[in-house]
Amino acid sequence: MKKTLPLLIFIMLLAACGFQLRSEANLPFNTLYVQAPAGSQFANQFRRVVSSGSSTRIIDNAKGAEATLILVSERREKNILSLSGTGRVSEYQLRYIMSYRVIDVNAVEIIPVTEIALRRDLSYSDAELLSKEAEDALLFRDMQNDAVQQLLRRLQLTKLTPQKT
């Protein structure tokens, strides 16, 4: 009884806060083709997320797909945000920008070219060069993960037009 009471209280608090496990993504198409440059980390990660977290199958040919996701562009930018009194960089702004469009099997545009833009601020110090480079890479990877999740949520809201026969 003494061990189960704290566990029961924890479960009740967890349920009361609205916590819910992420469920399967319900994309409006059964098959999806991802058109992206070879070796695109974003495309590879998106394929993995869709394959493991939804009933939609990623296929290797656009002809057999109900929809085609076209990765139009993907950019990583690093801009100086502020300088110290001696003229050295003290902060950077990192930007991850990707644009995409979605077409159906008849090449009709379902989603026009749309952009997902994310930014993070990074403090900088010459004395911590290696750790700041690692933090830079980690922030870009985090933004890419965020962009994949945003794209997945946007695709879940997509409405397919009925096929005319």
Residues 7-59: pLDDT tens digits?
777 777 767 666 554 556 788 999 999 999 998 999 999 999 999 988 999 99
Let me know if residue 31 belongs to a domain. Answer: yes
Query: Do residues 117 and 96 make contact, with C-beta atoms less than 8 angstroms apart?
Result: yes
Share of residues in the chain with pLDDT > 90 (%): 58
pTM of the model: 0.79
Q: Is the four-CA dihedral 58, 62, 68, 72 of positive or negative sign? A: positive
Is residue 161 in some structural domain? no
The answer to the question of residue 11 being in a domain is no
Flag whether 65 is in a domain. Answer: yes
pLDDT, tens digit, for every residue of 114-130?
999 999 999 888 888 88
Answer whether residue 121 is part of any domain. yes
Number of separate domains in the chain: 1
Confidence class of residue 103 from pLDDT cuts 50, 70 and 90?
Answer: very high
Give residue 139's domain range.
23-156
CA distance 129 to 133: 6
Residue 50 within a domain: yes
Residue 165 has pLDDT above 60, yes or no: no
Residue carrying structure tokens 């495309």: 43
CATH at residue 69: 3.30.160.150
Distances (CA, A) of 86 to 49, 70, 82, 90, 133: 46, 45, 11, 10, 22
